[in-house]
Structure 1
């Protein structure tokens, strides 16, 4: 474990670079300009016990890595790491050697006029894997081998918003920060069916709602539910519900 230092951030007179790491997109963005905002962020993270602090005796500046989860409601549940420059000999002695090496890569990259964002993200994620960081409640509630709660919400919302569109499962996997194979397995573990089956069932559910509550034609309902042709819609609806959509509409009336 890394000890949390009591040094007040407001006493810092050093430059503070903030790197925001998007855990879903596995991307990073750099903010060098808002030092006061960065210090306030440090205070907030420390106050909520979501900050891991590491002293480095050869760092010219300070560096804050903030790991953000996908949903705004998750706040900064991904945790954060603050690398602080300290006088020689003040460095924490109990961290793995890889931490110093990876931190040096980050500092070297930040010296460039245009930092390599993919490299920053890759190294920041490696550091997160090595260190024992605070995690968001959403990251601990997933069934073993399934999606994290935020990933499940994002996947469902992504597909729900695109019921009238055609899109590959890789788009949904990307939105959750996972490979297609990993996402498909985890989705089935969490929701009990593969993504394509869930999407098909959701489209039929939407079709039944439109059949019952609107006067749209079958062709228009087919398009609104992501079916390119009415004949395809009719086949799938009949196979799923047990009767053609026209008959189901009359029965519902």
Structure 2
């Protein structure tokens, strides 16, 4: 079902690697055959800092490495390894649907010739927030007036899990233990945009992934991305991307 870009295809022992910088909230892609890739995986296992998950429908193993904000923790704050099969006891069993859905988006993003690294980073961070047993990250310095790191992770995870649903900002604020006004101001300081704008951008990013990797109708894509009407989806997509979704899909093929 899934296949990685040729530069990221993996061998049995050396999975492709996504390095997630927890301080910058960014992601970088590395091929599985780079020097030290195998040592990194074993180091994470040795420190009990790795969560291993089986995805039966994945054609490749994929390693997410979360690097701490502080240079003192240079080996990283932990990792998640998605495996095609379970090689031993560390692998976890059936995963929540949100984990599988986010993993699907991640693999689909990496299939493209030019992976959307901001999208990869967002999905990787959301996975870190919701995967059971993932080692707690070292907290980066909190932006003055912004969200605490745990609130930021919870807000992102809450919205990522509900991209296909309608919900008020107050629900996200409640999940973070803040009033709506406080949450909205803090979210904007931390993320650079208000919650509603961030959510719309993520829904459009998900729509792009679905348009590129599936033959779903525009109406179904709209519903899967939280838009009640195709016309609203088309307006937002066109305003954000610069092309209507149908035209964009033809250029992406």
Question: What TM-score comes out, normalization by structure 1 length?
Answer: 0.48
Question: What TM-score comes out, normalization by structure 2 length?
Answer: 0.48
